Amino acid sequence: MFTTTVTPRFGDIDGLGHINNTVLAGWFELGRNPLFRIFAPNLRVVHGDWPLIMAHADYDFVGELFFQYDVEIRSYISRIGTKSFTVYHEAWQEGRLCTTGHAVIVHFDFILRKSTPIPEDKKRTLEEHLLPE
């Protein structure tokens, strides 16, 4: 598991004083940065160097998030396939689970424009972060 702490910004809230639902996509993306470093340690994004592309994302809002408290993003690997893996995210605030979500990440060759197998050494590293049963 990886954890990232996010401090909400005033612009993250909606008219009801809650964190807007669109903000979670960015926060969960921040939570994926440590996983991206498995594939690109310096996070260098140059055409041909970046090996990942996102194929799917979903979110379930199970509790309200508020401006005045930090949010802990927890990121796990929930599935590892041949050419893709799934990240499971949770957003916690003040000891409450508030949002869950998944992102399917595909190992991708941008020059050949096709998915490619995840290297075995990367799979082993991903396995260290599998969601507990």
Domain for residue 133, yes or no? no
Plot region of 6 (φ>0 → left; ψ -120 to 50 → alpha; else → beta) = beta
Considering its fold, how many domains does the chain have in total?
1
Query: Does any domain span residue 132?
Result: no
CATH number, domain containing residue 78: 3.10.129.10
Q: What domain range is 25 assigned to?
A: 2-127
- Does 57 reside within a domain? yes
Per-chain mean pLDDT for the chain = 95
At 44 the pLDDT is: 77
- Does 27 map to a domain? yes
What would the pLDDT profile of 1-60 be if each residue is shown by its tens digit? 999 999 999 999 999 889 999 999 999 999 999 999 999 988 877 766 789 999 999 999
